[in-house]
Structure 1
């Protein structure tokens, strides 16, 4: 799918862009689209470890041309249904994932900003690390007069960014609690191997989590249906919900 970025009232000549600004744009799109994809897949925007080749392909965005008329960048990105088939859809996050096959890295980038700029607060698809990346994208704007717009031939609402918009992202980021260490006792009820998601039944209800990069599915599979103690980190999103990053699992009697 094709996207157009336009920088109006910039200090570069029409049809030109400073290389450092282009680097900020490319890095911002990559980090925000990746974070938006991961928060839909596992509930947290942080990625752990080296990405699979297929995931790198899914997040690929190509600059196809630069045009005059302020400065116009033409980009191309494929829909995830073409190269994201290796992920098992997550029943914990079915609503967030329902439209994912038809999305692209650029559409997730745009929707992340639109969610953060909306009047209603508390979007489960925004967390502290992702809001931090949205806030850092202000580097692409050099003055209060500049307007950064992204469009896609009318298939998605146009995104317009000005420097004044970025203060809101900091306010939202500051409202979300920092991750904190946690210990949970419960029974392992479900394990999804493809995205390493886990459901744990506790006395206070269900806890949803995912395995940290150093913890394999095989290490937790042996505890299926058994009482365990889980040590990990609790992460929050902007609507107050949380997800547990599981770092260690042991039989309940060992604690």
Structure 2
């Protein structure tokens, strides 16, 4: 007896077709963005090599070496910005996958999935414009940065180039501008605040909105608890000492 062929459900067939089209479109777009990004990356290096840019940062008056960064600030920033920083090779594929999925759901560029290394690449080499080719350029730059500098050097450079709001670039300017002290003198709650500001400097700066600054510190501390960097009790004690509640 001849077996009857099972008819493929029309809806399932349509969904499969759409997935194939989406995959091919994404692959083609990714190739184009990748080529443009590589060109942008090479253009930036031609304008000024990476090592020259790094030395310029290190020669700044307010440059703060890694040894003078509070350990609490380092843990807080890594926790909230890139908790796999010390394990990845400059690009976090898990974070990128999550970001792409969220962007697709929102039908907008709402999440970037950038690592601390990619953020450093952006600060050193590129503009802040949210363009796909720039994101691709960040990847190429991040790979070069990771191959030439240690994780400690990368975080050091990140902390000295990131924008902290209110016109402060780098943790040295931010610590003195907001608290009137050097980075090494920062308390835990001050470190948590500075770790949280770069996500949205204009919103989380205590000069702009003390309530939002307080909420952001709370978010940073919860992230640190979630990643087992501090206990709930320690987070609670730090929250109580926060002056803008």
Give me the TM-score of the superposition, normalised by structure 1. 0.22
Which one has the largest radius of gyration? 2
Select the structure that is richer in helix: 2
- Higher strand share goes to which structure? 1
TM-score (normalizing by structure 2): 0.23
